[in-house]
Amino acid sequence: MTNEIPILKVKGLTVYQGSYLAVRDVSFELLSGTDTAIVGPNGAGKSTLVKAVLDLIPRSAGNIEIFGYPITRLRSLRRLLGYMPQNFIFDRSFPISVSELVGLGWMLENKRGNSFFQRLWGQDREKSAAVVKALQRTDAYHLRHQAIGTLSGGQLKRVLLAYCLVMPRKLLVLDEAFAGVDVQGAADFYALLNELKREEGWTVLQVSHDIDMVSRHCDRVLCLNQTVVCTGQPEIALSPQNLLATYGPGFSRYQHHHN
């Protein structure tokens, strides 16, 4: 059940990368409480679309509203947004622990009353408690003292999810969040994501190559190949005809089998 409230509105979005037209005249809405997947072939503009929505790259044309405000207001609304990039690139020798990384997602709130040191002490306690809770809820608490450079791909995904969870969010954006994770690991992550989505009331926008997982877990699908080919519920958007129109001839849909 959704509240039918648009969290995100995109209208006529066009993005060039140099002279290359990456995204053309894309329009869609994201309703509160839904899990929407963007699917399409390599080079279709999926990651470009997500980055433009997050105002990480410039757009050539179009309007974007997030949480009811123009994208130009996004900086003041960042704390309501969680983002997991396709590739989390970092120096694996950098000496930062899992708890420290997750703590970076906790943002100070301006609280009046009490002295500066009382507020600071109280905020430190709140932050520590929030980090512990986020790691526990993502089954990553046992990793809290571990250096992030020692994590496996699946462990790192859970830690990044904890980073998103450490503060209340309204929108979670995942760009190929399951890249580098095996089939069972992806299934476990989807189950955790769905559980947290229900508990937190998250709206999710994700880029995925896994058609089977999308059909199992997502509410809506946006098929993209530079422009929107189709959009709708999985059983409609992922029909053979729509997949052919999106991916072209030679596309083969395969099924995962889980125990």
pLDDT digits (tens, 9 = 90+) for 177-234: 777 677 777 788 888 888 888 888 899 999 998 898 899 889 999 999 999 999 999 9
Average per-residue pLDDT for the chain: 86
- Which CATH number is 43's domain given? 3.40.50.300
d(CA 124, CA 128): 6
- Domain membership of residue 256 (yes or no) is no
The number of domains in the chain is: 1
What does the pLDDT read at residue 108?
54
Say what angle helices 153-165 and 183-200 make with each other, to 10 degrees: 10
- Domain membership of residue 184 (yes or no) is yes
For residues 80 and 119, which has the higher predicted lDDT (pLDDT)?
80
- Domain membership of residue 157 (yes or no) is yes
What does the pLDDT read at residue 121?
47
User: In the structure, what pLDDT confidence band is assigned to residue 114 with cuts at 50, 70 and 90?
Assistant: very low
For residue 151, pLDDT over 70 is answered with: yes
Please state the pTM of the whole predicted model: 0.84
- Domain membership of residue 186 (yes or no) is yes
User: In the structure, what pLDDT confidence band is assigned to residue 31 with cuts at 50, 70 and 90?
Assistant: very high
User: In the structure, what pLDDT confidence band is assigned to residue 154 with cuts at 50, 70 and 90?
Assistant: confident
Residues with Cβ within 8 Å of 26's Cβ and at least 6 positions away in sequence, in order, are 10, 12, 13, 14, 49, 62, 224, 227, 228
Element (H, E) at 202: none
- Residue percentage of the chain with pLDDT more than 70: 89
- Residue percentage of the chain with pLDDT more than 90: 55
- Domain membership of residue 257 (yes or no) is no
pLDDT digits (tens, 9 = 90+) for 48-57: 999 999 999 9
- Domain membership of residue 1 (yes or no) is no
What does the pLDDT read at residue 204?
95
Host domain of residue 168? 6-247
For residue 147, pLDDT over 60 is answered with: yes
Residue indicated by tokens 């992806």: 186
- Domain membership of residue 112 (yes or no) is yes
- Domain membership of residue 258 (yes or no) is no
